[in-house]
Amino acid sequence: MTHHAHIENVPAQQQEWPGRTADMDPQPDHGETSYTGRARLEGKKALITGGDSGIGRATAIAFAKEGAHVAIAYLPQEQEDAEATRAAVESAGVDCVLLPTDQRTEQANNELAAAALEALGGIDILVNNAAFQMGQPGGIVDIPSGQLERVFETNMFATFWLTKALVPHLQAGASIIVTTSIQAYSPSEQLLDYAASKSALNNFMVNLASELGPQGIRVNAVAPGPIWTPLIPSTFDEEKVEGFGSDTPLGRPGQPIEVAAASVFLASDDASYVSGTVLGVTGGKPVF
């Protein structure tokens, strides 16, 4: 049985964006030791964006432990976190290809797709996980010029462009997974732009599942609730971080590996009839 360390109470803390895993208290669980693979993704080839830390890192580690070959994309300034992910993936006995990319242009995504296809020799699983958020406690009037563009370029446009570039190369049985959010269902005022982008991604996912179904390609979303990742201390005020996730029915924030486990299911042949759906990993908050 797999046991993840539950977080009881998160103390107040703050970091500069994009945040570093090493500076987090407590340290998140990405499944380095807690996750046990069962050969569910043996030989599959996966590209995971935002793979340097948080949910992306946990997904890379879980996929590797399940036997997948892994490539991760991440912002160039997150090289240190990316190398920590690679070390964890390699300790599971598979190679980890590092593809530093700022995904905010179509060209960058076309180049990322080409590099991933070349490095892995094909793609079976695409996890569109990279995201940007910046909480603004003052609401809409406090959202600075340029933030809306950055949020949608990173969350919505990059997912669209990268998926578009890779679809012609996907075979029947391939799985596309999009990280959306509880924010699409129960939005926070201070994340007005981010929540809207995640709602757009849910719509995109359902529509794409309809389009690609006849080709045998499945498309799904994972909607995390409050998950303890570097995004939290680096995009919220200190007092918002204190007690993070304690307002869920389960009474605690989630660990990155708890989200990754859902992606393992959606990526695997166990989910062969699952497409066009959102799997909530929210500690009990509703996703409908």
> What is the CATH number for 184?
3.40.50.720
- What's residue 134's pLDDT? 87
The angle subtended at Cα 258 by Cα 202 and Cα 188, nearest 5°, is 45
Which pLDDT value is given to residue 142?
93
Going edge to edge, which strands form the sheet with 278-281? 96-100, 69-74, 45-49, 125-128, 175-179, 218-224, 278-281
**Catalytic site includes residue 273:** no
- Specify the number of domains making up the chain: 1
Residue 121 covered by a domain: yes
In a domain, 4, yes or no: no
pLDDT number for residue 183 = 95
Q: Which residues of the chain have pLDDT under 70?
A: 1-4, 18, 235, 239
Look at residue 191 and tell me if it is in a domain.
yes
Per this entry, what is the length of the chain?
288
The CB density around residue 76, as the number of other CB atoms within 10 Å, is 9
pLDDT of 1 reads 41
Asked whether residue 161 is assigned to any structural domain, the reply reads yes
pLDDT tens readout for residues 62-97: 999 999 999 999 999 999 999 999 999 999 999 999
Q: In this structure, is residue 9 part of a structural domain?
A: no
Domain interval for residue 203:
36-281
Instruction: Tell me phi and psi for residue 46, to 5 degrees.
Output: -125, 135
**Chain centroid, CA 194 distance in Å:** 14
Quote the pLDDT of residue 4.
Answer: 66
Distance CA 31, CA 65 (A): 9
154, part of any domain: yes
Distance, in Å, from the CA atom of 166 to the CA atom of 270, rounded to the nearest integer, reads 23
Task: Say what the pLDDT of residue 101 is.
Answer: 98
**Is residue 126 a part of any domain in this protein?**
yes
* Catalytic-role residue among 35, 185, 194, 273: 194
**Is the residue at 237 inside a domain?**
yes
Predicted local distance difference test score (pLDDT) of residue 170 = 98
The tokens describing 72, both together, are: 């991760």
